[in-house]
Chains A and B, each alone.
Chain A
């Protein structure tokens, strides 16, 4: 069998699943089974693609020619493989979690929710598989559109204005800056194909390269590099499973994935390393890392704190790619994965606290570790992972990014990473301390743990954080293919 056919299959399964989910709104149990079945099928497809990519194969699938020389096509390479794995592994986990959350909170319009959720996965996989900028652009925009109903799930005044910010920034940046970036790439090089080593050969001036990079970095608003970050905290009005899978994993990772992919396959790491016109990127991402951490430190709302932490961590990925050394590029790719599993655990915990205790503020969490031991254990592990404590997942990616920074002699970047580690600790550890060692405020609200499906999902994601080391060999084989030698 031609393995390439698995890619369109993996993208279409969630679409079909979404249609089935939308029609099955009278039978919630069957509907949820459909969600699980499609998630399992997608996971199977993506896993079956893995051996081919590990062996150096690049499965390719062309749909049609959108415009002469601009096909809609999929081609799987290591970075896309990694991203597809992240999305397809975490989808079933967060489906399990969503079922607990949506039923536990009696949320309305659950069919629409699960259908849009599945569509978002389809678009994410489309982004992961894209063979060229135009295909990536198509799925990128679709992802914005199908997640809009999820962000505005409650259809009230608050979600309406959040939706405006969400769509305004994401579509505003992509329809102007990103479109111009893609057209300019096509205009300058005559191709939009992702090519190892980049496509900007020869004639293009350094200033033009710097400008093009700016168009891409700010045009890909999903990467939330400041000042394009405001949509992410706004999107937190969505139900927590949306924040967990989409705004910690799929959507934001689609953003940084696109940035890394563009740097590696359009600009070419070797082509632009040492150019003065791209030197601003480490600074602006370094600023984002520190500034977002400071805002996180000052946020009392737990989800908002996590959102700003996400903004900060996303810029880790962009910064790592912008350092333009082989090790840092590996670190960037790994951080897409490690931040995903860690942050989804944290959001799962935040949603569990909301469902069981109806608490949303950090200052209300005193003593909650005793009432919800499992949830807070998961939260602790996720937080420690993001701080970068071994053997949790976050340590590994941070290690590679720092090695890359040292290798390139980027001492400022190294300083930013160390400062940010301290800030991470400063905004996570007080929560953990309060949860376990402070006494609960009176009058005590009597509640227990979150519903079982949510605990199950948290257990799964925590396990991934803790047992990350077992997969590191495989992941390194994959990510090493990104850099020459």
Chain B
């Protein structure tokens, strides 16, 4: 087995481990396999990232069918970076999942949980690694369908409703996407992204291309929960089991955003996106609306999980805002925030999931006195929350710095005001937790800190939020290179 097969191993290992788990029918074995498969994927992703740093692009022809006829997996620094995020979050969350699943999922379904988890992981990794727009759809469906199941495993009955809502909206999103793929295939006769990018310029003003752009933008925005298409996200994240919320919040929307960025810059290109259509202006307005409106809703929320979910919608606005600025610093901000926000939200949902188990819910009044009862968890929530605000020394600051810089370069001073206002709102919603946890007397007695199995992964993720705020050579190095790559493609 040699290194050249890494791109496919990354996807195949979790994909094959999933049915294996079903054969074993044991929660414990399922958990071990899930952790192992995630780790193998992470190792593959790191191996790929090391190879593609510095501009190399790895192309892998599935089944030796040469592209553009066969399916091509194509790894450059942008998707290698996303692969590390997805498999990294999966690895840490899968360790955390053991305790979370035991407490939240009926024991006869444990093995199914892990099987679904791995299917979802391989779907997300496949979407990221493939260079084929139809293959993206296939993996999108794999990750979505398994995602609906994972959410429906939540303890409350509301989880079923949330999963159903997500299923309807997610299916609409995927359908829109595949309609777009159809149109593109109609006019270009190819499904391969690189091939398509070469052919599309000749037919750029044909109506099907415009229709494809519209359908794909809406479809992917639905999956990425871009405001105002975010309705499914808060109920899905707040009712799903803790491990699922952490995994999805850290990865699912990020991968859809990655695909969106890739198509925008890698397929449709300069003329359509940057010159002819007011797409970026619209995106910029929606992003700012997301940053302000969703943050405002988060400030009003009484349930910490829903608060964090709305915060996710706002933070996704940061990412798309960076995309809409479409300059070097803006795209750097967008790409680096995929990672920075992914780890912060994964950490937060793991911590809140633990707190909800111990305290029996995560409404703010239930979390009263958490600072005394669960000091380490509460402290980590504050630290990861600071990253959401963008306090210097945390990963969120790196994003904010580049966003403000990009807006200054573009001369968009109102955008800077919006960024400032949004971070103030972020401070307000994070501080609602601080006041609940530290300023109110505990309601529960004898509550203790969660077990090491849940706490350790969450603490590691929290430390990562600080680490990547100080040592940015990996994250920022990759993001800058990716931004250059994207801008180079549209020049």
Contact = CB atoms under 8 A, between A and B. Distances in A.
Interface in A169-204: 171-172, 175-177, 179-180, 183-184, 186-187
A67 B476 contact: yes
A377 B389 CA distance: 47
B424 A175 contact: yes
Contacts of A177: 420
B398 interface: yes
B409 A175 contact: no
Interface in B390-414: 390-393, 398, 400-401, 404-405, 408-409
A194 to B, nearest CB: 17
B427 A64 contact: no
A138 B392 CA distance: 5
Contacts of A145: 386, 391
Interface stretch (B63-71, B263-271, B467-475): B467-475
Contact of B390 (A65, A68, A142, A175): A175
Nearest to A137: B392
Nearest to B392: A138
Interface string B91-134: 00000000000000000000000000000000000000000000
A183 B393 contact: no
B470 A152 contact: no
Given A67-B472, A145-B386, A176 B424 contact: yes
A72 B408 contact: no
Given A160-B439, A175-B424, A179-B400, A72 B409 contact: no
Contacts of B471: 64
A141 B404 contact: no
A134 interface: yes
Nearest to A140: B392
B324 interface: no
B431 interface: yes
Given A67-B398, A172-B424, A175-B420, A184 B408 contact: yes
B373 to A, nearest CB: 15
B435 interface: yes
A172 B386 contact: no
Among B392, B408, B439, B472, the one with the most A-chain Cβ atoms within 10 Å of its Cβ is: B392
A403 B57 CA distance: 67
A303 to B, nearest CB: 22
B423 interface: yes
Contacts of B431: 164, 167
B416 interface: yes
Contact of A180 (B389, B416, B427, B439): B416
What band does the interface of chain B fall in when counting residues whose beta carbon is under 8 Å from A? 20 to 34
Contact of B409 (A64, A68, A180, A187): A187
A180 B404 contact: yes
A66 interface: yes
B183 interface: no
A141 B394 CA distance: 11
B438 interface: yes
A136 B392 CA distance: 10
Contact of B473 (A65, A137, A138, A155): A65
- Determine the main DSSP class of A at the interface with B: helix
A369 B395 CA distance: 55
Contacts of B421: 176
A176 B398 CA distance: 15
Contact of A142 (B393, B401, B470): B393
Contact of B472 (A66, A141, A175): A66
Contacts of B424: 171-172, 175-176
Interface in A81-98: none
Contacts of B476: 67-68
Given A137-B392, A138-B392, A138-B393, A175 B427 contact: yes
Nearest to A136: B392
Nearest to B420: A176
Interface residue SS majority, chain B = helix
Contacts of B416: 180
Contacts of A137: 392
A172 B476 CA distance: 26
Contacts of A164: 431
B439 A155 contact: yes
A187 B409 CA distance: 8
Contact of B405 (A68, A72, A142, A187): A187
Nearest to A179: B404
B401 A72 contact: no
Interface string A129-140: 000001001100
Given A172-B424, A175-B423, A176-B424, A187 B393 contact: no
Contacts of B480: 68
Contacts of A138: 392-393
A416 B346 CA distance: 55
B279 to A, nearest CB: 26
A164 B390 CA distance: 18
Contact of B389 (A152, A175, A186, A187): A175
Nearest to A164: B431
A183 B408 contact: yes
Contacts of B435: 160
Interface in A152-169: 152, 155, 160, 164, 167-168
Greatest chain A CB density within 10 A among B393, B416, B435 is at B393
Contact of B423 (A152, A167, A176): A176
Nearest to B409: A187
A64 B467 CA distance: 12
Given A72-B470, A155-B438, A183 B391 contact: no
Interface string B450-486: 0000000000000000000011110010001000000
Nearest to A156: B439
Contacts of A180: 404, 416, 420
B420 A183 contact: no
B408 A187 contact: yes
A172 B390 CA distance: 12
Interface string A47-87: 00000000000000000111110001000000000000000
A156 B478 CA distance: 47
A183 B472 CA distance: 17
Contacts of B438: 152, 155
A211 to B, nearest CB: 10
A175 B480 CA distance: 24
B408 A152 contact: no
Contacts of A141: 391-393
A180 B409 CA distance: 12
A72 B471 CA distance: 10
A471 B36 CA distance: 67
Nearest to B403: A183
Nearest to B390: A175
A145 B392 CA distance: 11
Interface string B251-267: 00000000000000000
Interface string B217-253: 0000000000000000000000000000000000000
B345 to A, nearest CB: 20
Contacts of A64: 470-471
Given A72-B470, A175-B389, A176-B424, 7 more contacts: A68-B480, A137-B392, A138-B393, A145-B391, A167-B431, A183-B401, A187-B409
23 contacts: A65-B473, A66-B470, A66-B472, A67-B401, A67-B472, A72-B470, A134-B392, A137-B392, A138-B392, A138-B393, A141-B392, A142-B392, A145-B391, A152-B438, A167-B427, A168-B427, A175-B391, A176-B420, A176-B423, A179-B400, A183-B404, A187-B408, A187-B409
5 closest A-B pairs by beta carbon, nearest first, are A176-B420, A138-B392, A183-B404, A187-B408, A160-B439
Interface of A: 64-68, 72, 134, 137-138, 141-142, 145, 152, 155, 160, 164, 167-168, 171-172, 175-177, 179-180, 183-184, 186-187
